[in-house]
Amino acid sequence: MSVHKENKEFKKITTNVLLAMKQRGEKISMLTAYDFSMATILDDAGIDILLVGDSASNVMAGHETTLPITLDQMIYHAASVIRAVKRCLVVVDLPFGSYQGNSKEALNSAIRIMKEAGAHSIKLEGGEEVIDSVKRIISAGVPVMGHLGLTPQSIYKFGTYTVRAKEEAEADQLIANAKLLEGAGCFAIVLEKIPAALGQRVAEEIKIPIIGIGAGGGVDGQVLVMHDMLGITKEFSPRFLRRYLNLYEEILDATKKYITDVKSKDFPNENEQY
Positions that interact with ligand KIV (CB under 6 A): 32, 51, 53-55, 93, 190, 192, 213, 223, 225
Task: Find the shortest distance in angstroms from Cβ 222 to ligand KIV.
Answer: 10
Q: Between residues 36 and 267, which has the closer beta carbon with respect to ligand KIV?
A: 36
Q: Between residues 48 and 93, which has the closer beta carbon with respect to ligand KIV?
A: 93
Cβ contact 178:165 at 8 Å:
no
Task: Find the shortest distance in angstroms from Cβ 241 to ligand KIV.
Answer: 11
Report residue 89: phi and psi, to 5°.
-85, 135
Task: Find the shortest distance in angstroms from Cβ 125 to ligand KIV.
Answer: 8
Distance, in Å, from the CA atom of 9 to the CA atom of 29, rounded to the nearest integer, reads 15
Q: Between residues 19 and 60, which has the closer beta carbon with respect to ligand KIV?
A: 60
Residue whose C-beta lies closest to ligand KIV:
53
Alpha helices, DSSP H, located in the chain? 3-8, 15-23, 36-45, 56-59, 71-84, 103-112, 131-139, 155-158, 168-184, 196-205, 226-229, 247-263
Residues with catalytic roles: 192
**Sign of CA pseudo-dihedral 3, 8, 10, 13:** positive
Cβ contact 7:46 at 8 Å:
yes
Task: Find the shortest distance in angstroms from Cβ 59 to ligand KIV.
Answer: 8
Q: Between residues 213 and 263, which has the closer beta carbon with respect to ligand KIV?
A: 213
